[in-house]
């Protein structure tokens, strides 16, 4: 197996009817992913109000966020096998239904333990929506349309985490925190109907049994690693507990690695990394997402604590980066056709990292227009980078292994975004310790942005392990004589 193997996807010219159906499918999947991405962060600004409703300590409410993220990480690896066994469309519909049911129950929760339980149920549904929705596109879309389709899926990933906090604050301020969950109900019902009407069922029949041992080991590893990353250096639990849980996670991950080598059909298949384009997308994409994953954490805190902005003001300023992502979609195909995947990921990656680091130079005296300009440009170039990574990952993957690839890729995505928050929090903690102050100041946030920008910058040269015409059948890029 090597990077010259290609997926057996159609390459014929797509007719207008088929093209329209592909775009409808992409839009349906994008809307579902947007709902999932918003929900993962929308309750952040509502936690103090919810704590008063439950008679709980505000600091303990973070478990409602963590429970959802942990549930996502644990159940994502099982999504590929379920899609192969029961059909991607069926699993996608069930995922939307489970997610919507979890939303209903969260909105009706009368205690914090009940809310945590229902958030886990929501996470189970979200874990199926992310990779299975992507799989529906991968198995239907020819390579010539894959970049355009992936551009639809990039936008929700960038907008969702930024829209969530201000939306939650607005609903909580002017309505009820329970409406945060209830707004998912009409979208969930509409999603199930639209999937039934417009999305074809695709599956790769499999005789492989479910890897229960792999599920247990990977679930334990992901749970412990995610929990450790979420709590390390943030004062939520004692540092000894965070380190102990991380240790268990590393041991379980090593145990899974040994298991995967011996199992004929492991739940998370690391042999996919033999495909060079997939390896680049996973390795470089992880480093790049560490930087991007830190933005929803760093930017609102800096604007509120160091600039004195209100939560609503900081939310609208942060949203500028998502507005930049919206205008990227028409440009992605042209950029990749002109420069190819390798050069686009190299130079666009450097530019994205520089713009991310520039956020650390923001000061209260800066004109608001200048801040908006940097955020708009950063959102644009980051969106292009994500679109390229997401399309490149599947350029050489055979059709029969698409479900395994989406499971692995989605799992690593979830972990890398969590690493971004943990890395930024750790950088701020170190800066506070060195500065001998108990509350973060502007210089601490500047260091946080610099650290995560360096991670994103490290992703750019990874693309050099590919030839300049890598995945040219998708981009249409041809080397000039």
Give domain status of residue 6, yes or no.
no
| 205: CB partners within 8 A, 6+ apart | 84
Choosing from 240, 266, 292, the residue where a domain stops is: 266
Instruction: Verify that 200 and 107 share a domain, yes or no.
Output: yes
Instruction: Verify that 195 and 276 share a domain, yes or no.
Output: no
Give domain status of residue 337, yes or no.
yes
Residue 97 reports pLDDT greater than 70: yes
Instruction: Verify that 257 and 300 share a domain, yes or no.
Output: no
Which has the higher per-residue pLDDT, 226 or 213? 213
CB of 91 closer than 8 Å to CB of 212:
no
Q: Which residue has the tokens 């100041």?
A: 441
Residue range of the domain that includes 178: 14-209
- Closest by Cα among 383, 146, 414, 167 to 268: 414
CB of 127 closer than 8 Å to CB of 30:
no
Q: How confident is the model at residue 158 (pLDDT cuts 50, 70, 90)?
A: low
Give domain status of residue 4, yes or no.
no
Per-residue confidence (pLDDT) for residue 479, from 0 to 100: 58
Per-residue confidence (pLDDT) for residue 315, from 0 to 100: 67
- Closest by Cα among 469, 286, 318, 303 to 389: 286
Residue 378 reports pLDDT greater than 80: yes
Domain count, the chain: 3
Per-residue confidence (pLDDT) for residue 455, from 0 to 100: 95
Instruction: Verify that 29 and 85 share a domain, yes or no.
Output: yes
Share of the chain above pLDDT 90, in %: 24
The lowest-confidence range among 324-333, 355-364, 434-443, 455-464 is 324-333
Which has the higher per-residue pLDDT, 45 or 475? 475
Per-residue confidence (pLDDT) for residue 1, from 0 to 100: 43
Instruction: Verify that 87 and 116 share a domain, yes or no.
Output: yes
CB of 256 closer than 8 Å to CB of 218:
yes
Instruction: Verify that 255 and 286 share a domain, yes or no.
Output: no
| Rounded Cα distance, 266 and 431, in Å | 42
Give domain status of residue 9, yes or no.
no
Choosing from 249, 266, 283, the residue where a domain stops is: 266
Choosing from 221, 246, 266, the residue where a domain stops is: 266
Give the tens place of pLDDT for each residue, 246-258. Answer: 899 999 999 999 9
| 52: CB partners within 8 A, 6+ apart | none
Crossing angle of helices 311-318 and 368-392, rounded to 10°: 50
Per-residue confidence (pLDDT) for residue 449, from 0 to 100: 93
Give domain status of residue 90, yes or no.
yes
Instruction: Verify that 177 and 275 share a domain, yes or no.
Output: no
Residue 456 reports pLDDT greater than 80: yes
The lowest-confidence range among 76-80, 332-336, 337-341, 348-352 is 332-336
Residue 374 reports pLDDT greater than 80: yes
Give me the CATH number covering residue 164.
1.20.1250.20
Question: Cα 21 vs. chain centroid, distance in angstroms?
Answer: 25
Residue 341 reports pLDDT greater than 70: yes
Model pTM above 0.85: no
Q: What is the mean pLDDT of residues 472-481?
A: 68
Instruction: Verify that 113 and 156 share a domain, yes or no.
Output: yes
Per-residue confidence (pLDDT) for residue 350, from 0 to 100: 96
Instruction: Verify that 254 and 278 share a domain, yes or no.
Output: no
Give, as one character, the DSSP assignment of residue 31.
Answer: H
Give domain status of residue 408, yes or no.
yes
| Rounded Cα distance, 142 and 20, in Å | 13
Instruction: Verify that 249 and 329 share a domain, yes or no.
Output: no
Instruction: Verify that 404 and 304 share a domain, yes or no.
Output: yes
């Amino acid at each position: 197996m090597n990077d010259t193997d290609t997926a057996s996807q159609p390459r014929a010219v797509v007719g207008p009817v088929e093209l329209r159906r592909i775009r409808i499918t992409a839009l349906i999947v994008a809307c579902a992913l947007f709902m999932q991405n918003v929900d993962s962060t929308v309750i952040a600004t509502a936690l103090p109000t919810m704590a008063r409703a439950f008679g709980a300590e505000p600091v303990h409410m973070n478990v409602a966020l963590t429970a959802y993220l942990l549930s996502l990480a644990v159940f994502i690896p099982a999504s590929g096998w379920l899609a192969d066994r029961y059909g991607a469309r069926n699993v996608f519909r069930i995922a939307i239904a489970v997610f919507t049911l979890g939303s209903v129950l969260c909105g009706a929760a009368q205690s914090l333990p009940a809310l945590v339980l229902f958030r886990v149920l929501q996470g189970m549904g979200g874990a199926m929506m992310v990779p299975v929705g992507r799989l529906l596109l991968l198995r239907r879309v020819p390579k010539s349309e894959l970049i355009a389709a992936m551009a639809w899926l990039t936008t929700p990933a960038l907008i969702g985490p930024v829209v969530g906090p201000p939306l939650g604050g607005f609903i909580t301020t002017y309505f009820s925190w329970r409406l945060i969950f209830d707004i998912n109900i009409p979208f969930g019902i509409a999603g199930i109907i639209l999937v039934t009407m417009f999305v074809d069922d695709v599956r790769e029949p499999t005789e492989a049994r479910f890897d229960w041992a792999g599920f247990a080991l990977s679930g334990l590893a992901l749970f412990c690693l995610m929990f450790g990353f979420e709590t390390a250096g943030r004062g939520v639990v004692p540092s000894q507990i965070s380190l102990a849980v991380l240790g268990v996670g590393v041991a379980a991950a090593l145990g899974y690695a040994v298991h995967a080598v011996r199992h004929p059909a492991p739940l998370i298949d690391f042999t996919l990394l033999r495909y060079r384009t997939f390896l680049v997308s996973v390795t470089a994409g992880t480093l790049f997402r560490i930087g991007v994953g830190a933005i929803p954490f760093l930017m609102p805190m800096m604007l509120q604590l160091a600039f004195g902005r209100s939560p609503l003001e900081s939310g609208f300023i942060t949203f500028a980066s998502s507005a930049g992502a919206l205008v990227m979609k028409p440009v992605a195909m042209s950029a990749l056709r002109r420069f190819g995947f390798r050069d686009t990921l190299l130079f666009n990656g450097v530019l994205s990292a520089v713009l991310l680091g520039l956020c650390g130079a923001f000061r209260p005296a800066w004109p608001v227009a200048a801040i908006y300009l940097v955020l708009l440009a950063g959102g644009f170039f980051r969106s292009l980078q994500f679109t390229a990574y997401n399309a490149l990952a599947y350029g050489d993957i055979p059709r029969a292994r698409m479900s395994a690839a989406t499971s692995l890729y989605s799992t690593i995505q979830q972990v890398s975004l969590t690493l971004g928050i943990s890395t930024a929090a750790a950088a701020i903690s170190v800066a506070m310790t060195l500065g001998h102050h108990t509350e973060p100041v502007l210089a601490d946030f500047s260091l946080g942005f610099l650290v995560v920008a360096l991670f994103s910058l490290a992703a750019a040269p990874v693309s050099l392990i590919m030839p300049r015409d890598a995945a040219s059948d998708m981009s249409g890029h041809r080397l000039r004589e």
